[in-house]
Chain A
Protein backbone atom coordinates (compact mmCIF):
# COMPACT_ATOMS: atom_id res chain seq x y z
CA UNK A 1 0.00 0.00 0.00
CA UNK A 2 1.12 3.54 -0.59
CA UNK A 3 2.17 5.29 2.54
CA UNK A 4 1.54 8.96 2.18
CA UNK A 5 0.80 11.18 5.08
CA UNK A 6 -2.99 10.99 5.15
CA UNK A 7 -3.03 7.21 4.85
CA UNK A 8 -3.23 5.57 8.23
CA UNK A 9 -2.86 1.88 8.83
CA UNK A 10 -5.00 0.62 11.69
CA UNK A 11 -4.80 -2.98 12.85
CA UNK A 12 -7.89 -4.43 14.53
CA UNK A 13 -6.96 -7.63 16.33
CA UNK A 14 -8.25 -10.00 18.98
CA UNK A 15 -9.54 -13.54 19.32
CA UNK A 16 -12.39 -14.73 17.14
CA UNK A 17 -15.79 -13.74 18.52
CA UNK A 18 -14.34 -10.84 20.49
CA UNK A 19 -16.53 -8.38 18.58
CA UNK A 20 -14.11 -6.71 16.14
CA UNK A 21 -16.27 -6.99 13.05
CA UNK A 22 -19.36 -6.00 15.03
CA UNK A 23 -17.90 -2.72 16.22
CA UNK A 24 -16.38 -1.90 12.86
CA UNK A 25 -19.73 -2.52 11.17
CA UNK A 26 -21.62 -0.35 13.64
CA UNK A 27 -19.21 2.56 13.51
CA UNK A 28 -18.28 2.56 9.82
CA UNK A 29 -21.00 0.61 7.99
CA UNK A 30 -24.16 1.75 9.82
CA UNK A 31 -25.19 -1.60 11.26
CA UNK A 32 -27.68 -1.74 14.11
CA UNK A 33 -26.24 -3.47 17.18
CA UNK A 34 -28.74 -6.29 16.86
CA UNK A 35 -27.77 -6.88 13.22
CA UNK A 36 -24.32 -8.01 14.35
CA UNK A 37 -25.71 -11.34 15.50
CA UNK A 38 -25.84 -12.31 11.85
CA UNK A 39 -22.14 -11.69 11.14
CA UNK A 40 -20.06 -14.71 10.13
CA UNK A 41 -16.42 -15.36 10.94
CA UNK A 42 -13.85 -13.06 9.48
CA UNK A 43 -11.60 -15.13 7.25
CA UNK A 44 -7.97 -14.00 7.37
CA UNK A 45 -7.70 -10.24 6.94
CA UNK A 46 -10.43 -7.93 5.74
CA UNK A 47 -8.96 -4.63 4.67
CA UNK A 48 -11.29 -1.67 4.29
CA UNK A 49 -10.46 1.88 3.38
CA UNK A 50 -12.42 4.49 5.22
CA UNK A 51 -12.58 8.12 4.26
CA UNK A 52 -12.80 10.27 7.30
CA UNK A 53 -13.36 14.02 7.55
CA UNK A 54 -13.09 14.23 3.79
CA UNK A 55 -9.34 13.88 3.47
CA UNK A 56 -8.12 11.40 6.05
CA UNK A 57 -7.91 7.85 4.80
CA UNK A 58 -7.91 5.00 7.28
CA UNK A 59 -6.84 1.58 6.14
CA UNK A 60 -8.56 -0.65 8.65
CA UNK A 61 -7.23 -4.20 8.78
CA UNK A 62 -9.78 -6.42 10.50
CA UNK A 63 -7.75 -9.53 11.31
CA UNK A 64 -9.81 -12.71 11.73
CA UNK A 65 -8.99 -14.17 15.13
CA UNK A 66 -9.11 -17.93 14.72
CA UNK A 67 -6.01 -19.67 16.05
CA UNK A 68 -4.57 -20.73 12.73
CA UNK A 69 -4.81 -17.17 11.37
CA UNK A 70 -3.21 -15.83 14.53
CA UNK A 71 -0.32 -18.23 14.09
CA UNK A 72 0.18 -16.92 10.56
CA UNK A 73 0.21 -13.32 11.68
CA UNK A 74 3.09 -13.93 14.06
CA UNK A 75 5.07 -16.15 11.75
CA UNK A 76 4.93 -15.82 7.98
CA UNK A 77 3.09 -12.46 7.84
CA UNK A 78 4.82 -10.79 10.76
CA UNK A 79 6.96 -8.35 8.74
CA UNK A 80 4.28 -7.12 6.40
CA UNK A 81 1.42 -7.03 8.86
CA UNK A 82 3.10 -5.13 11.65
CA UNK A 83 5.03 -2.71 9.46
CA UNK A 84 4.17 1.03 9.34
CA UNK A 85 1.24 0.66 11.68
CA UNK A 86 -0.19 3.87 13.13
CA UNK A 87 -2.64 2.33 15.55
CA UNK A 88 -3.17 -1.14 16.93
CA UNK A 89 -6.59 -1.83 18.43
CA UNK A 90 -6.71 -5.06 20.40
CA UNK A 91 -10.11 -6.35 21.51
CA UNK A 92 -10.65 -8.60 24.54
CA UNK A 93 -13.95 -10.34 25.19
CA UNK A 94 -14.42 -9.74 28.93
CA UNK A 95 -16.34 -13.00 29.24
CA UNK A 96 -13.60 -15.17 27.80
CA UNK A 97 -10.89 -16.57 30.09
CA UNK A 98 -8.90 -18.12 27.29
CA UNK A 99 -5.25 -17.92 28.34
CA UNK A 100 -4.12 -17.83 24.72
CA UNK A 101 -5.77 -14.44 24.35
CA UNK A 102 -3.25 -12.68 26.60
CA UNK A 103 -0.47 -14.59 24.89
CA UNK A 104 -1.60 -13.32 21.49
CA UNK A 105 -1.81 -9.81 22.86
CA UNK A 106 1.72 -10.07 24.15
CA UNK A 107 2.93 -11.26 20.78
CA UNK A 108 1.20 -8.34 19.11
CA UNK A 109 2.86 -5.88 21.44
CA UNK A 110 6.25 -7.41 20.77
CA UNK A 111 5.73 -7.34 17.02
CA UNK A 112 4.61 -3.72 17.14
CA UNK A 113 7.55 -2.75 19.30
CA UNK A 114 9.86 -4.24 16.74
CA UNK A 115 8.29 -3.10 13.47
CA UNK A 116 6.31 0.07 14.31
CA UNK A 117 7.74 1.46 17.50
CA UNK A 118 5.86 4.75 17.15
CA UNK A 119 2.45 3.12 16.86
CA UNK A 120 -0.18 3.81 19.47
CA UNK A 121 -1.92 0.85 21.12
CA UNK A 122 -5.55 0.95 22.22
CA UNK A 123 -7.06 -1.97 24.10
CA UNK A 124 -10.83 -2.41 24.15
CA UNK A 125 -12.18 -4.58 26.93
CA UNK A 126 -15.38 -5.49 25.19
CA UNK A 127 -18.88 -6.87 25.88
CA UNK A 128 -18.95 -5.09 29.26
CA UNK A 129 -22.77 -5.27 29.10
CA UNK A 130 -22.52 -8.97 29.97
CA UNK A 131 -21.07 -8.11 33.40
CA UNK A 132 -23.63 -7.14 36.06
CA UNK A 133 -23.50 -3.40 36.75
CA UNK A 134 -22.29 -3.71 40.32
CA UNK A 135 -19.31 -5.83 39.28
CA UNK A 136 -18.34 -3.86 36.18
CA UNK A 137 -15.68 -1.51 37.48
CA UNK A 138 -13.97 -4.22 39.51
CA UNK A 139 -13.91 -6.70 36.62
CA UNK A 140 -12.67 -3.99 34.30
CA UNK A 141 -9.84 -2.87 36.58
CA UNK A 142 -8.64 -6.41 36.98
CA UNK A 143 -8.44 -6.94 33.24
CA UNK A 144 -6.87 -3.53 32.70
CA UNK A 145 -4.11 -4.33 35.18
CA UNK A 146 -3.43 -7.59 33.43
CA UNK A 147 -3.21 -5.77 30.10
CA UNK A 148 -0.71 -3.24 31.43
CA UNK A 149 1.43 -6.02 32.85
CA UNK A 150 1.70 -7.53 29.40
CA UNK A 151 2.33 -4.30 27.50
CA UNK A 152 6.13 -4.21 27.64
CA UNK A 153 5.97 -0.74 29.21
CA UNK A 154 4.59 0.70 25.98
CA UNK A 155 2.07 3.49 26.20
CA UNK A 156 -1.30 1.69 26.09
CA UNK A 157 -4.79 3.15 26.54
CA UNK A 158 -7.66 0.91 27.70
CA UNK A 159 -11.42 1.35 27.31
CA UNK A 160 -14.35 -0.73 28.50
CA UNK A 161 -16.85 -1.04 25.64
CA UNK A 162 -20.15 -2.55 24.59
CA UNK A 163 -22.06 -2.30 21.33
CA UNK A 164 -25.21 -1.70 23.33
CA UNK A 165 -24.33 1.72 24.74
CA UNK A 166 -22.28 4.88 24.19
CA UNK A 167 -19.00 3.38 25.45
CA UNK A 168 -18.33 2.16 21.91
CA UNK A 169 -18.52 5.74 20.61
CA UNK A 170 -16.36 7.03 23.42
CA UNK A 171 -13.53 4.63 22.63
CA UNK A 172 -13.67 5.09 18.87
CA UNK A 173 -13.89 8.88 19.14
CA UNK A 174 -10.70 8.84 21.20
CA UNK A 175 -8.98 6.53 18.73
CA UNK A 176 -9.97 8.60 15.73
CA UNK A 177 -9.04 11.86 17.43
CA UNK A 178 -5.60 10.53 17.96
CA UNK A 179 -5.29 10.29 14.18
CA UNK A 180 -6.29 13.90 13.50
CA UNK A 181 -2.91 15.65 13.52
CA UNK A 182 -4.03 19.21 13.97
CA UNK A 183 -7.07 19.02 16.20
CA UNK A 184 -5.84 21.84 18.43
CA UNK A 185 -6.61 24.40 15.74
CA UNK A 186 -10.10 23.02 15.37
CA UNK A 187 -10.90 23.24 19.04
CA UNK A 188 -9.62 26.83 19.19
CA UNK A 189 -11.96 27.87 16.39
CA UNK A 190 -14.83 26.01 17.99
CA UNK A 191 -14.24 27.84 21.23
CA UNK A 192 -14.48 31.21 19.46
CA UNK A 193 -17.64 30.16 17.73
CA UNK A 194 -19.24 28.95 20.95
CA UNK A 195 -18.49 32.22 22.69
CA UNK A 196 -19.77 34.27 19.75
CA UNK A 197 -23.07 32.37 19.76
CA UNK A 198 -23.41 32.64 23.55
CA UNK A 199 -23.96 28.88 23.59
CA UNK A 200 -23.35 26.50 26.50
CA UNK A 201 -21.45 24.13 24.30
CA UNK A 202 -20.63 23.25 20.73
CA UNK A 203 -19.74 19.80 19.45
CA UNK A 204 -18.46 18.71 16.06
CA UNK A 205 -19.35 15.22 14.79
CA UNK A 206 -17.92 13.43 11.78
CA UNK A 207 -20.67 13.15 9.23
CA UNK A 208 -20.97 9.45 8.47
CA UNK A 209 -19.82 7.89 11.75
CA UNK A 210 -21.09 10.60 14.09
CA UNK A 211 -17.92 10.20 16.13
CA UNK A 212 -17.02 13.27 18.18
CA UNK A 213 -14.24 15.26 16.50
CA UNK A 214 -13.99 18.26 18.73
CA UNK A 215 -15.99 20.16 21.33
CA UNK A 216 -15.99 23.20 23.53
CA UNK A 217 -18.06 23.72 26.68
CA UNK A 218 -18.56 27.09 28.28
CA UNK A 219 -20.53 25.53 31.12
CA UNK A 220 -19.91 22.49 33.23
CA UNK A 221 -22.19 19.51 32.86
CA UNK A 222 -22.69 16.57 35.21
CA UNK A 223 -22.60 13.93 32.47
CA UNK A 224 -19.11 13.44 31.03
CA UNK A 225 -20.27 10.89 28.47
CA UNK A 226 -23.00 13.05 27.00
CA UNK A 227 -21.44 13.59 23.55
CA UNK A 228 -21.03 9.89 22.99
CA UNK A 229 -24.62 9.38 24.09
CA UNK A 230 -25.68 11.92 21.48
CA UNK A 231 -23.59 10.07 18.85
CA UNK A 232 -25.39 6.88 19.74
CA UNK A 233 -28.86 8.48 19.76
CA UNK A 234 -28.38 10.20 16.40
CA UNK A 235 -26.79 7.20 14.77
CA UNK A 236 -29.77 5.04 15.74
CA UNK A 237 -32.17 7.67 14.49
CA UNK A 238 -30.29 7.92 11.21
CA UNK A 239 -30.92 4.22 10.75
CA UNK A 240 -34.64 4.56 11.37
CA UNK A 241 -34.71 7.35 8.77
CA UNK A 242 -33.12 5.06 6.24
CA UNK A 243 -35.97 2.60 6.77
CA UNK A 244 -38.25 5.41 5.59
CA UNK A 245 -35.92 5.93 2.62
CA UNK A 246 -34.83 9.33 3.90
CA UNK A 247 -31.72 10.93 5.31
CA UNK A 248 -31.63 13.03 8.42
CA UNK A 249 -30.67 16.69 7.81
CA UNK A 250 -31.20 18.68 10.95
CA UNK A 251 -32.84 18.59 14.33
CA UNK A 252 -33.96 20.92 17.09
CA UNK A 253 -34.93 19.61 20.50
CA UNK A 254 -36.03 21.86 23.33
CA UNK A 255 -37.86 21.99 26.62
CA UNK A 256 -38.13 24.79 29.17
CA UNK A 257 -34.51 24.32 30.24
CA UNK A 258 -32.57 24.06 26.99
CA UNK A 259 -32.48 24.15 23.24
CA UNK A 260 -30.20 21.94 21.13
CA UNK A 261 -29.56 22.25 17.40
CA UNK A 262 -27.97 19.54 15.37
CA UNK A 263 -27.32 20.52 11.79
CA UNK A 264 -25.29 19.62 8.74
CA UNK A 265 -22.20 21.78 8.90
CA UNK A 266 -19.18 21.41 6.67
CA UNK A 267 -19.16 18.80 3.91
CA UNK A 268 -17.77 16.24 6.37
CA UNK A 269 -19.27 17.26 9.71
CA UNK A 270 -22.42 17.89 11.72
CA UNK A 271 -22.50 20.48 14.47
CA UNK A 272 -24.42 20.50 17.73
CA UNK A 273 -25.05 23.71 19.59
CA UNK A 274 -26.66 23.66 23.02
CA UNK A 275 -27.96 26.66 24.84
CA UNK A 276 -29.85 27.07 28.09
CA UNK A 277 -30.35 30.79 27.74
CA UNK A 278 -33.87 31.28 26.47
CA UNK A 279 -33.08 34.83 25.33
CA UNK A 280 -30.87 33.43 22.57
CA UNK A 281 -33.06 33.40 19.47
CA UNK A 282 -33.19 30.06 17.62
CA UNK A 283 -33.37 31.85 14.27
CA UNK A 284 -30.24 33.81 15.10
CA UNK A 285 -28.38 30.69 16.12
CA UNK A 286 -29.32 29.01 12.87
CA UNK A 287 -28.06 32.03 10.98
CA UNK A 288 -24.78 31.94 12.87
CA UNK A 289 -24.34 28.30 11.99
CA UNK A 290 -24.97 29.16 8.36
CA UNK A 291 -22.34 31.89 8.37
CA UNK A 292 -19.73 29.78 10.16
CA UNK A 293 -20.07 26.90 7.70
CA UNK A 294 -17.77 28.31 5.02
CA UNK A 295 -15.15 29.38 7.50
CA UNK A 296 -15.02 25.96 9.12
CA UNK A 297 -14.81 24.11 5.82
CA UNK A 298 -11.18 25.19 5.50
CA UNK A 299 -10.37 24.68 9.16
CA UNK A 300 -11.62 21.11 9.19
CA UNK A 301 -9.60 20.34 6.09
CA UNK A 302 -6.48 21.92 7.53
CA UNK A 303 -6.83 19.98 10.75
CA UNK A 304 -6.35 16.67 8.95
CA UNK A 305 -2.88 17.50 7.63
CA UNK A 306 0.08 17.81 9.93
CA UNK A 307 2.07 20.99 9.76
Chain B
Protein backbone atom coordinates (compact mmCIF):
# COMPACT_ATOMS: atom_id res chain seq x y z
CA UNK B 1 0.00 0.00 0.00
CA UNK B 2 1.49 3.28 -1.09
CA UNK B 3 0.67 6.67 0.45
CA UNK B 4 2.14 10.03 -0.55
CA UNK B 5 2.72 13.11 1.61
CA UNK B 6 2.55 16.40 -0.24
CA UNK B 7 2.54 20.06 0.70
CA UNK B 8 4.52 23.25 0.35
CA UNK B 9 8.01 23.65 1.81
CA UNK B 10 8.69 23.28 5.55
CA UNK B 11 5.17 22.30 6.48
CA UNK B 12 6.33 19.26 8.43
CA UNK B 13 6.01 16.28 6.07
CA UNK B 14 9.36 14.71 6.87
CA UNK B 15 8.95 15.51 10.58
CA UNK B 16 5.68 13.60 10.73
CA UNK B 17 7.18 10.50 9.17
CA UNK B 18 10.28 10.65 11.34
CA UNK B 19 8.37 11.14 14.60
CA UNK B 20 5.77 8.47 13.96
CA UNK B 21 7.76 5.80 12.16
CA UNK B 22 11.36 6.41 13.16
CA UNK B 23 10.96 7.39 16.81
CA UNK B 24 12.56 10.79 16.43
CA UNK B 25 11.67 13.10 19.30
CA UNK B 26 9.69 16.18 18.23
CA UNK B 27 12.41 18.60 19.37
CA UNK B 28 14.95 16.94 17.11
CA UNK B 29 12.91 17.69 14.00
CA UNK B 30 14.10 21.29 14.22
CA UNK B 31 17.35 20.11 12.67
CA UNK B 32 16.19 18.02 9.72
CA UNK B 33 17.08 19.26 6.26
CA UNK B 34 14.61 20.28 3.62
CA UNK B 35 13.78 17.31 1.40
CA UNK B 36 15.29 17.71 -2.07
CA UNK B 37 14.23 14.49 -3.77
CA UNK B 38 11.45 11.98 -3.30
CA UNK B 39 12.13 9.75 -0.30
CA UNK B 40 10.42 6.51 0.64
CA UNK B 41 9.81 5.19 4.11
CA UNK B 42 8.78 1.57 4.27
CA UNK B 43 6.81 0.40 7.29
CA UNK B 44 6.52 -3.31 7.88
CA UNK B 45 5.92 -4.18 11.50
CA UNK B 46 4.04 -7.39 10.82
CA UNK B 47 2.44 -8.98 7.77
CA UNK B 48 -0.65 -6.84 8.24
CA UNK B 49 0.80 -3.39 8.49
CA UNK B 50 2.75 -2.87 5.31
CA UNK B 51 2.93 0.64 3.97
CA UNK B 52 5.23 2.69 1.82
CA UNK B 53 5.12 6.39 2.60
CA UNK B 54 6.43 8.67 -0.11
CA UNK B 55 7.82 11.97 1.14
CA UNK B 56 7.69 14.54 -1.68
CA UNK B 57 9.93 17.60 -1.63
CA UNK B 58 8.05 20.81 -0.92
CA UNK B 59 9.26 22.16 -4.26
CA UNK B 60 7.22 19.60 -6.20
CA UNK B 61 4.65 21.24 -8.51
CA UNK B 62 2.04 19.35 -10.55
CA UNK B 63 2.58 21.70 -13.48
CA UNK B 64 6.07 20.18 -13.81
CA UNK B 65 5.07 16.57 -13.14
CA UNK B 66 7.37 14.05 -14.85
CA UNK B 67 6.72 10.43 -15.73
CA UNK B 68 8.35 9.12 -12.56
CA UNK B 69 6.20 11.30 -10.29
CA UNK B 70 3.15 10.30 -12.25
CA UNK B 71 4.00 6.64 -11.88
CA UNK B 72 4.35 6.99 -8.13
CA UNK B 73 1.17 8.99 -7.70
CA UNK B 74 -0.85 6.63 -9.85
CA UNK B 75 0.07 3.79 -7.49
CA UNK B 76 -0.99 5.68 -4.36
CA UNK B 77 -4.11 4.62 -2.52
CA UNK B 78 -4.10 7.89 -0.63
CA UNK B 79 -2.54 11.30 -0.65
CA UNK B 80 -2.06 13.24 2.57
CA UNK B 81 -1.76 16.94 2.00
CA UNK B 82 -0.05 18.80 4.85
CA UNK B 83 -0.98 22.42 5.49
CA UNK B 84 1.03 24.54 7.92
CA UNK B 85 -1.63 26.06 10.18
CA UNK B 86 0.83 28.63 11.49
CA UNK B 87 1.61 29.95 8.03
CA UNK B 88 -1.32 32.17 7.09
CA UNK B 89 -2.79 33.11 4.65
CA UNK B 90 -3.64 29.70 3.30
CA UNK B 91 -4.41 30.72 -0.31
CA UNK B 92 -1.18 29.53 -1.92
CA UNK B 93 -0.99 26.10 -0.30
CA UNK B 94 -4.69 25.53 -0.90
CA UNK B 95 -4.30 26.42 -4.57
CA UNK B 96 -1.50 23.87 -4.73
CA UNK B 97 -3.78 21.33 -3.09
CA UNK B 98 -6.56 21.87 -5.64
CA UNK B 99 -4.10 21.53 -8.50
CA UNK B 100 -2.75 18.27 -7.11
CA UNK B 101 -6.20 16.78 -6.54
CA UNK B 102 -7.35 17.81 -10.02
CA UNK B 103 -4.33 16.24 -11.67
CA UNK B 104 -4.12 13.04 -9.65
CA UNK B 105 -7.85 12.47 -9.75
CA UNK B 106 -7.69 12.52 -13.55
CA UNK B 107 -5.30 9.57 -13.79
CA UNK B 108 -5.95 7.85 -10.43
CA UNK B 109 -9.69 8.22 -9.70
CA UNK B 110 -9.63 5.79 -6.73
CA UNK B 111 -7.08 7.78 -4.80
CA UNK B 112 -8.33 9.24 -1.51
CA UNK B 113 -7.33 12.69 -0.30
CA UNK B 114 -6.82 13.76 3.28
CA UNK B 115 -5.72 17.08 4.65
CA UNK B 116 -3.70 17.55 7.84
CA UNK B 117 -3.97 21.05 9.23
CA UNK B 118 -0.60 20.72 10.92
CA UNK B 119 1.45 22.50 13.62
CA UNK B 120 -1.80 23.24 15.43
CA UNK B 121 0.19 23.60 18.66
CA UNK B 122 1.53 27.14 18.57
CA UNK B 123 0.47 30.20 20.55
CA UNK B 124 -2.10 30.95 17.86
CA UNK B 125 -4.16 27.89 18.76
CA UNK B 126 -4.41 27.74 22.51
CA UNK B 127 -8.10 26.84 22.62
CA UNK B 128 -10.10 24.15 20.86
CA UNK B 129 -12.31 26.86 19.35
CA UNK B 130 -9.38 28.48 17.59
CA UNK B 131 -8.38 25.11 16.15
CA UNK B 132 -11.87 24.43 14.84
CA UNK B 133 -12.04 27.91 13.43
CA UNK B 134 -8.90 27.20 11.40
CA UNK B 135 -10.42 23.98 10.11
CA UNK B 136 -13.71 25.64 9.16
CA UNK B 137 -11.80 28.41 7.41
CA UNK B 138 -9.87 25.92 5.30
CA UNK B 139 -12.92 23.88 4.47
CA UNK B 140 -14.79 27.04 3.45
CA UNK B 141 -11.99 28.24 1.19
CA UNK B 142 -11.91 24.90 -0.63
CA UNK B 143 -15.60 24.33 -1.01
CA UNK B 144 -16.30 26.24 -4.23
CA UNK B 145 -13.35 24.79 -6.13
CA UNK B 146 -14.15 21.24 -5.10
CA UNK B 147 -17.78 21.47 -6.11
CA UNK B 148 -17.08 23.26 -9.35
CA UNK B 149 -14.48 20.71 -10.47
CA UNK B 150 -16.39 17.74 -9.05
CA UNK B 151 -13.42 16.60 -7.00
CA UNK B 152 -13.54 14.17 -4.09
CA UNK B 153 -13.94 15.90 -0.76
CA UNK B 154 -10.93 15.55 1.56
CA UNK B 155 -11.11 14.61 5.25
CA UNK B 156 -9.68 17.20 7.64
CA UNK B 157 -7.49 16.50 10.66
CA UNK B 158 -5.92 18.87 13.17
CA UNK B 159 -2.43 17.60 13.94
CA UNK B 160 0.80 18.30 15.74
CA UNK B 161 3.91 16.24 16.37
CA UNK B 162 4.07 17.61 19.91
CA UNK B 163 1.13 15.52 21.08
CA UNK B 164 -0.62 12.33 20.03
CA UNK B 165 -2.93 14.05 17.55
CA UNK B 166 -0.69 13.06 14.65
CA UNK B 167 -0.81 9.41 15.73
CA UNK B 168 -4.57 9.53 16.02
CA UNK B 169 -5.01 11.15 12.62
CA UNK B 170 -2.75 8.60 10.94
CA UNK B 171 -4.59 5.75 12.66
CA UNK B 172 -7.87 7.06 11.34
CA UNK B 173 -6.78 7.44 7.75
CA UNK B 174 -4.91 4.15 7.59
CA UNK B 175 -8.10 2.45 8.71
CA UNK B 176 -9.79 3.95 5.65
CA UNK B 177 -7.43 2.13 3.29
CA UNK B 178 -7.40 -1.19 5.15
CA UNK B 179 -9.99 -3.49 3.61
CA UNK B 180 -10.12 -5.94 6.55
CA UNK B 181 -10.98 -3.36 9.12
CA UNK B 182 -14.75 -3.55 8.79
CA UNK B 183 -14.74 -7.19 9.84
CA UNK B 184 -12.42 -6.51 12.72
CA UNK B 185 -14.52 -3.62 13.88
CA UNK B 186 -17.56 -5.86 13.91
CA UNK B 187 -15.76 -8.39 16.01
CA UNK B 188 -14.57 -5.67 18.38
CA UNK B 189 -18.13 -4.40 18.76
CA UNK B 190 -19.23 -7.91 19.67
CA UNK B 191 -16.40 -8.37 22.11
CA UNK B 192 -17.30 -5.09 23.70
CA UNK B 193 -20.94 -6.01 24.15
CA UNK B 194 -20.32 -9.52 25.45
CA UNK B 195 -17.78 -8.39 28.00
CA UNK B 196 -19.10 -4.93 28.89
CA UNK B 197 -15.95 -3.21 27.81
CA UNK B 198 -16.07 0.60 27.50
CA UNK B 199 -13.62 1.04 24.65
CA UNK B 200 -11.23 -1.23 22.81
CA UNK B 201 -8.30 -0.64 20.46
CA UNK B 202 -6.19 -2.98 18.39
CA UNK B 203 -2.73 -1.43 18.50
CA UNK B 204 0.34 -1.68 16.39
CA UNK B 205 2.80 -1.92 19.26
CA UNK B 206 5.75 -0.43 17.41
CA UNK B 207 4.23 2.82 16.13
CA UNK B 208 1.42 3.09 18.66
CA UNK B 209 -1.10 3.54 15.85
CA UNK B 210 -4.36 1.70 16.28
CA UNK B 211 -5.25 -0.40 13.30
CA UNK B 212 -8.86 -0.88 14.44
CA UNK B 213 -11.23 0.16 17.18
CA UNK B 214 -14.89 -0.42 18.04
CA UNK B 215 -17.51 1.83 16.47
CA UNK B 216 -17.93 4.20 19.44
CA UNK B 217 -16.16 7.53 19.01
CA UNK B 218 -12.46 7.83 19.83
CA UNK B 219 -11.43 10.41 22.38
CA UNK B 220 -7.87 11.56 22.55
CA UNK B 221 -7.67 10.97 26.31
CA UNK B 222 -8.48 7.27 26.23
CA UNK B 223 -6.28 6.79 23.19
CA UNK B 224 -3.39 8.52 24.91
CA UNK B 225 -3.80 6.44 28.04
CA UNK B 226 -3.69 3.22 26.01
CA UNK B 227 -0.69 4.40 24.00
CA UNK B 228 1.12 5.29 27.22
CA UNK B 229 0.26 1.87 28.61
CA UNK B 230 2.01 0.30 25.63
CA UNK B 231 5.12 2.34 26.44
CA UNK B 232 5.04 1.07 30.01
CA UNK B 233 4.57 -2.54 28.96
CA UNK B 234 7.39 -2.43 26.43
CA UNK B 235 9.77 -0.54 28.74
CA UNK B 236 9.19 -2.85 31.70
CA UNK B 237 9.41 -5.93 29.49
CA UNK B 238 12.69 -4.67 28.06
CA UNK B 239 14.10 -4.71 31.60
CA UNK B 240 12.73 -8.01 32.89
CA UNK B 241 11.34 -9.85 29.90
CA UNK B 242 14.32 -10.34 27.62
CA UNK B 243 17.62 -12.04 28.15
CA UNK B 244 20.93 -10.27 27.54
CA UNK B 245 21.29 -10.18 23.78
CA UNK B 246 17.68 -10.36 22.64
CA UNK B 247 16.39 -7.38 20.74
CA UNK B 248 13.64 -5.08 21.83
CA UNK B 249 11.04 -6.71 19.61
CA UNK B 250 11.21 -9.93 21.64
CA UNK B 251 10.06 -8.03 24.75
CA UNK B 252 6.56 -8.30 23.34
CA UNK B 253 5.76 -11.96 22.89
CA UNK B 254 2.89 -14.43 22.75
CA UNK B 255 2.24 -14.20 26.45
CA UNK B 256 2.53 -10.45 26.82
CA UNK B 257 -0.23 -9.14 29.01
CA UNK B 258 -0.83 -6.29 31.43
CA UNK B 259 -3.47 -5.00 33.82
CA UNK B 260 -3.43 -1.45 35.14
CA UNK B 261 -5.96 -0.33 37.73
CA UNK B 262 -6.86 3.31 38.22
CA UNK B 263 -8.64 4.88 41.16
CA UNK B 264 -11.34 6.22 38.84
CA UNK B 265 -12.69 2.67 38.71
CA UNK B 266 -11.26 2.06 35.27
CA UNK B 267 -9.06 -0.91 34.42
CA UNK B 268 -6.78 -1.07 31.39
CA UNK B 269 -6.25 -4.55 30.05
CA UNK B 270 -3.72 -5.48 27.39
CA UNK B 271 -3.22 -8.77 25.56
CA UNK B 272 -1.08 -9.88 22.66
CA UNK B 273 -3.13 -10.76 19.58
CA UNK B 274 -0.63 -11.24 16.80
CA UNK B 275 2.99 -10.44 16.13
CA UNK B 276 3.42 -6.85 17.45
CA UNK B 277 -0.32 -6.33 17.71
CA UNK B 278 -1.94 -5.70 21.07
CA UNK B 279 -5.54 -5.47 22.13
CA UNK B 280 -6.09 -2.77 24.75
CA UNK B 281 -9.42 -2.59 26.55
CA UNK B 282 -10.79 0.00 28.92
CA UNK B 283 -13.11 -1.78 31.35
CA UNK B 284 -14.89 -0.70 34.50
CA UNK B 285 -13.31 -2.46 37.43
CA UNK B 286 -16.61 -4.13 38.37
CA UNK B 287 -16.91 -5.66 34.92
CA UNK B 288 -13.32 -6.86 35.08
CA UNK B 289 -14.32 -9.29 37.84
CA UNK B 290 -15.02 -11.86 35.23
CA UNK B 291 -11.59 -11.80 33.64
CA UNK B 292 -12.03 -15.41 32.53
CA UNK B 293 -14.97 -14.46 30.40
CA UNK B 294 -13.05 -11.59 28.85
CA UNK B 295 -10.08 -13.84 28.17
CA UNK B 296 -12.30 -16.45 26.59
CA UNK B 297 -13.83 -13.90 24.24
CA UNK B 298 -10.47 -12.39 23.41
CA UNK B 299 -9.27 -15.87 22.41
CA UNK B 300 -12.18 -16.13 20.02
CA UNK B 301 -11.40 -12.68 18.68
CA UNK B 302 -7.78 -13.70 18.21
CA UNK B 303 -8.78 -16.66 16.06
CA UNK B 304 -11.08 -14.47 14.03
CA UNK B 305 -8.36 -11.93 13.37
CA UNK B 306 -6.00 -14.65 12.27
CA UNK B 307 -8.51 -15.93 9.75
CA UNK B 308 -9.19 -12.49 8.35
CA UNK B 309 -5.50 -11.78 7.91
CA UNK B 310 -4.89 -15.15 6.30
CA UNK B 311 -7.71 -14.60 3.85
CA UNK B 312 -6.34 -11.16 3.12
CA UNK B 313 -2.89 -12.51 2.42
CA UNK B 314 -4.23 -15.15 0.11
CA UNK B 315 -6.06 -12.46 -1.81
CA UNK B 316 -2.93 -10.36 -2.10
CA UNK B 317 -0.96 -13.35 -3.38
CA UNK B 318 -3.50 -14.28 -6.01
CA UNK B 319 -3.61 -10.67 -7.19
CA UNK B 320 0.16 -10.65 -7.43
CA UNK B 321 0.11 -13.81 -9.49
CA UNK B 322 -2.46 -12.40 -11.88
CA UNK B 323 -0.50 -9.22 -12.60
Contact = CB atoms under 8 A, between A and B. Distances in A.
B244 A222 contact: yes
Interface residues of A, number: 30
A255 B258 CA distance: 9
Interface residues of B, number: 33
Interface string A225-253: 01001100110110011011111111111
B167 to A, nearest CB: 14
A247 B262 contact: yes
Contacts of A229: 235, 239
Which applies to chain A's interface (DSSP): helix, strand, loop or mixed?
mixed
Contact of B222 (A244, A254, A255): A244
Interface of B is mostly: mixed
Given A229-B235, A233-B235, A255-B252, A260 B261 contact: no
A199 to B, nearest CB: 12
A173 to B, nearest CB: 16
Given A248-B262, A250-B261, A258 B225 contact: no
B228 A240 contact: yes
Interface string B208-244: 0000000000000110110011011101110111111
A240 B198 CA distance: 19
A153 interface: no
B262 A255 contact: no
B224 A252 contact: no
A85 interface: no
Contact of B260 (A243, A251, A254, A255): A251
A280 B256 CA distance: 17
Given A230-B239, A243-B221, A247-B263, A253 B258 contact: yes
Contacts of B221: 243-244
A98 interface: no
A5 interface: no
A257 interface: yes
A246 B253 contact: no
B240 A246 contact: no
A246 B266 contact: yes
B237 A255 contact: yes
B251 interface: yes
Contacts of B253: 255-257
A243 B225 CA distance: 9
A18 B251 CA distance: 37
B257 interface: yes
Contacts of B243: 257
Interface string A258-288: 1010000000000000101000000000000
Given A253-B236, A256-B253, A244 B263 contact: no
A255 B261 contact: no
A255 B251 contact: yes
Contacts of B259: 250-252
Given A240-B224, A251-B258, A254-B258, A226 B264 contact: no
B254 interface: yes
Nearest to B244: A222
11 contacts: A226-B240, A237-B228, A237-B232, A241-B225, A243-B221, A244-B264, A251-B260, A254-B241, A255-B237, A255-B253, A274-B240
Given A240-B224, A254-B256, 19 more contacts: A222-B244, A223-B239, A226-B240, A233-B231, A240-B225, A244-B221, A244-B225, A244-B262, A246-B266, A247-B262, A247-B263, A249-B262, A251-B232, A252-B259, A255-B237, A256-B255, A257-B240, A258-B240, A260-B240
Interface of B: 221-222, 224-225, 228-229, 231-233, 235-237, 239-244, 251-264, 266
The 10 closest A-B pairs by CB, nearest first: A246-B264, A246-B262, A256-B255, A240-B228, A258-B240, A255-B241, A247-B263, A255-B256, A249-B261, A253-B236
